[in-house]
């Protein structure tokens, strides 16, 4: 009989905790949520105060039955899910699904998985916090109502298989509006004059304090500076300091891991979860910057030991976020003395980032000396300004420097040569280079998280899934785009001579930025027109605050949902009845061959060009847009070229061979089979001979992929994959036991392999967002 049964969400967490508790404790995993709303129906009883109709998830019935059996045998059941609203909801669902008894059920929480923390939690159990559970119910029910009611409307009015969500739609709006800002931005050129001086054999740079709107103004200025004399008019030295950033919250960790490590937000959360569950860091979903007194003491000891007493400065940071959830700590290492850890490369890199940020937050300020020198010209009305900065004491900079989202052109020289008022530096040259104003930057995952947090939209648990959702649903793409070439004018005054030249520079390159797709733009327009409240920033932020008030026991969750639902449902019915098809149709012009109108719009299967009117007697012609083309920017000429396909290349094996362009790019069609073109193949110039090569290459690859088939059951195949041979039965793949010769396997042996759970593909545990 089990004396104590501890239930956590994940197997990794269970394994770590089991190491800390004695033989009287059995630790089991629920593998995340065990109950959920039915995916095939609304599962919210609107007439009964919006009661959510939770049921045991089909894939969790076996786990629930196993846990039920263990719970019946146990003297005490400890619900040890995570210390946040979702964790509280998991505990509540376990309590109900397992039919637990109040007298033998205890709720324990901890924000780090260490021996002390676990033992302390067991000594201080509590009951399930119904307010936290209600806050999670409110989020789940509101999101279900919005998604379940809005999505079918989008299918009917815009395009099948679309979806809308309360937070995801606002995130898409941010990205769409930023793209519109960029589209409407008019870049303006200007000239900035930077002089290079020399004093006592040392060179330094200084910038003229006025910019010039045109090349003629810059030329006139440089012409005037010929034979000018320069005098230092002032030297100002000021002490300055830099202070470290606060320890990581979820959002700042996501931002910094994106900037410094190049991690997508979802990767950061997956790796951080691994670190937490293996006991290496504190809980990774938090908006608190607070560190416990214990952590402060340990950080102080480590800094003194490694860097010396002069590097210690204990700080208590206050959490600014109004909607901060429960009293968590910031994300920090569980053991400050561990500068590095064992684990995967990603785990090691993220842990090191967390360790450095935490330690730096408790280190002394960096002490700097900033020098500003003004240099007057005998012929110019304004001064040249040279800035220098010297680190007198590195403090926290010895460990860590925070990154920024965008590169800036601000440049500060390190050390200037010694100067005093009245010194006369020699001019080496002045360069006035054409520069351009920059459009607002596109969002990265990191900067989008920052913006969502600033607006009060979402919470630590929702940032990563929100970004994953809008990308997975095709509303946004994350991609890099190459730079374009741009000619710029460079004017230079050197040795009394003024020269002008044109140079080429790269501009506009984008790395891992978020771009709205045509579908994303169209869905946003639809929601902005018919459901402005849903995509309103203030509404979404207000809802988050109301969730916080529910969690604090200040509001009833049912009333908040009721207040929202009435007007929302009326708007759904009104839009369903009165609005027409919403395709984002745009007239491009007239086809010169037929005289018919040419339109671009979103069709049933994505962006298309249409020649001819839908209402006309003649059936319109359609063509899909190519990758990289957009409904927003495609021209009439580009649209008409799409109708050059399919293009017949000839015959092979008595069947036609043609080239066409589909939703996923250009392809060759031979009979009823399709063959993708390679990157270097151009559909406009591909020959029959090259098409045959592609056909034969694919046939050869397919043939080599098949190791063995069974005529008596064609659904069973042994194939070669990226990671070696594997078994497939009715499109379900299975691993082969080590040392198995796939060629020697019989059909019966294949069936046996498929029955063994060890050979099923591994499913990574991720905590579902409810």
Annotated active-site positions, please? 283
Angle (CA) 440-443-445 rounded to 5° is 160
The whole-angstrom separation of Cα 368 and Cα 292 is 30
SS (H, E, C) 688-745: HHHHHHHHHHHHHHHHHHEEEECCCCCCEEEEEECCEEEEEECCEEECCCCCCCHHHC
Residue with tokens 């937070």: 167
Residue 412: φ, ψ to 5°: -120, 125
**Residue corresponding to tokens 């190049």:** 262
The pair phi, psi for residue 397, each rounded to 5°, is -65, -20
CA 736 vs. chain centroid, Å, equals: 36
Q: With the C-alpha atoms ordered 302, 303, 308, 309, is the resulting torsion angle positive or negative?
A: negative
520's enclosing H/E stretch is: helix 518-530
The greatest distance separating any two alpha carbons of the chain, rounded to the nearest whole angstrom, comes to 99
DSSP H or E stretch at residue 476: strand 476-481
- 3 state SS of 316: coil
d(CA 501, CA 490): 5
**Distance in angstroms (rounded) separating the CA atoms of residues 508 and 483:** 5
Residues near 641 by beta carbon (within 8 Å), at least 6 away in sequence = none
Give the CA dihedral 149, 155, 158, 164, nearest 10 degrees: 40
**In which element (H, E) is residue 503 found?**
strand 497-507
What's the CA gap between 560 and 651, in Å, rounded? 67
The two beta strands, 510-516 and 44-45, are unpaired
Is 344 exposed, middle or buried, given 0-12, 13-18 or 19+ CB atoms closer than 10 A? exposed
Alpha-carbon gap, residue 298 to 320, rounded angstroms: 24
Per the listing, tokens 């030295």 go with: 237
Specify the 3-state DSSP secondary structure of 365.
coil
d(CA 264, CA 514): 12
Helix extents (H) in 278-344? 293-306
Hey, is 270 helix, strand or coil?
helix
Distance CA 274, CA 278 (A): 6
CA distance 41 to 47: 15
The 3-state DSSP composition of the chain as helix, strand, coil percent (nearest 5) reads 35, 25, 35
CA atoms within a 13 Å half-sphere pointing along the CA-CB vector of 312: 14
Please, what is the angle between helix 557-578 and helix 537-551, to 10°?
Answer: 150
Signed CA dihedral, 714, 719, 721, 724: sign only: positive
- Looking only at the bridges linking them, the beta strands covering 25-29 and 4-8 are parallel
């Amino acid at each position: 009989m089990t004396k104590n049964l501890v239930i956590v969400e994940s197997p990794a967490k269970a394994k770590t905790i089991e190491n800390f508790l004695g033989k009287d404790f059995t630790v089991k995993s629920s593998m995340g949520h065990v109950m959920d709303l039915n995916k095939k129906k609304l599962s919210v009883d609107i007439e009964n105060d919006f009661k959510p109709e939770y049921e045991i998830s089909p894939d969790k019935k076996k786990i629930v039955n196993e846990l039920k059996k263990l719970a019946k045998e146990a003297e005490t059941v400890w619900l040890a899910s995570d210390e946040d609203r979702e964790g509280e909801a998991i505990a509540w669902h376990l309590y109900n699904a397992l039919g637990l008894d109040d007298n033998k059920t205890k709720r324990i929480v901890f924000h780090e998985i260490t021996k002390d923390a676990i033992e302390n939690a067991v000594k201080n159990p509590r009951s399930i916090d119904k307010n936290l559970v209600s806050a999670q119910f409110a989020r789940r029910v509101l999101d279900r109502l919005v998604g379940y009611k809005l999505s079918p409307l989008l299918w009917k009015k815009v395009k099948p298989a679309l979806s809308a969500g309360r937070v995801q739609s606002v995130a898409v709006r941010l990205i769409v509006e930023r793209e519109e800002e960029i589209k409407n931005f008019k870049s303006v050129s200007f000239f900035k004059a930077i002089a290079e001086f020399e004093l006592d054999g040392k060179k330094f740079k200084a910038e003229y304090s006025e910019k010039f709107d045109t090349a003629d103004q810059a030329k006139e200025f440089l012409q005037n500076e010929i034979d000018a004399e320069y005098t230092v008019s002032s030297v100002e030295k000021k002490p300055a300091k830099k202070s470290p950033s606060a320890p990581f919250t979820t959002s700042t960790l996501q931002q910094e891991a994106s900037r410094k490590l190049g991690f997508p937000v979802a990767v950061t959360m997956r790796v951080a979860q691994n670190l937490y569950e293996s006991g290496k860091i504190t809980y990774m979903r938090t908006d608190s910057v607070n560190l416990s007194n214990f952590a402060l003491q340990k950080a102080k000891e480590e800094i003194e030991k490694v860097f010396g007493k002069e590097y210690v400065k204990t700080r208590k940071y206050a959490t600014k976020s109004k909607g901060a959830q429960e009293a968590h700590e910031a994300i920090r290492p569980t053991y400050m003395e561990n500068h590095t850890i064992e684990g995967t490369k990603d785990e090691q890199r993220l842990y090191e980032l967390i360790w450095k940020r935490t330690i730096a937050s408790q280190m002394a300020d960096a002490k700097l000396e900033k020098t500003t020198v003004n240099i007057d010209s005998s012929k110019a009305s304004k001064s040249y300004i040279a800035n220098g900065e010297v680190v007198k004491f590195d403090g926290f900079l010895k460990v860590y420097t925070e990154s920024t989202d965008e590169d800036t052109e601000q440049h500060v020289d390190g050390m200037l040569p010694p100067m005093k008022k009245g010194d006369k530096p020699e001019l080496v040259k002045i360069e006035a280079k054409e520069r351009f104003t920059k459009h607002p930057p596109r969002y990265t995952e990191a900067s989008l998280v920052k913006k969502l947090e600033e607006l009060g939209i979402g919470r630590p648990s929702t940032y990563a899934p929100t970004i994953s959702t809008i990308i997975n649903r095709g509303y946004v793409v994350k991609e890099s785009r190459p730079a374009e070439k741009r000619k710029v004018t460079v004017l230079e005054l050197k040795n009394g001579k003024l020269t002008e030249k044109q140079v080429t520079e790269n501009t506009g390159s984008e790395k891992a930025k978020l771009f709205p797709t045509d579908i994303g733009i169209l869905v946003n327009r639809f929601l902005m027109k018919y459901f402005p409240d849903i995509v309103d920033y203030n509404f979404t932020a207000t809802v988050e605050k109301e969730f916080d008030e529910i969690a604090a026991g200040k509001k009833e969750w049912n009333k908040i949902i009721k207040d929202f639902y009435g007007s929302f449902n009326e708007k759904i019915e009104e839009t369903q009845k009165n609005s027409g098809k919403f395709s984002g149709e745009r007239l491009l012009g007239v086809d010169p061959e037929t005289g018919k109108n040419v339109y671009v719009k979103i069709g049933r299967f994505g962006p298309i060009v249409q020649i001819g009117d839908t209402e006309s007697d003649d059936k319109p012609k359609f063509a899909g847009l190519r990758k990289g083309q957009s409904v927003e920017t495609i021209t009439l000429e580009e649209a008409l070229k799409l109708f050059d396909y399919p293009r017949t290349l000839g015959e092979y094996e008595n069947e036609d061979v043609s080239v066409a362009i589909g939703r996923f790019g250009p392809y060759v069609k031979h009979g009823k089979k399709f063959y993708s073109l390679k990157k270097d193949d151009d559909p406009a110039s591909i020959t029959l001979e090259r098409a045959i090569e592609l056909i034969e290459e694919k046939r050869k690859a397919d043939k080599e992929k098949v190791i063995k088939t069974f005529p008596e059951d064609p659904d069973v195949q042994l194939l070669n994959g990226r990671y070696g041979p594997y078994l497939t039965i009715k499109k379900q793949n299975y691993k082969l036991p080590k040392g198995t010769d796939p060629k020697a396997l019989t059909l019966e042996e294949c069936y046996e392999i498929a029955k063994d759970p060890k050979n099923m593909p591994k499913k990574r545990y991720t905590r579902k967002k409810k």
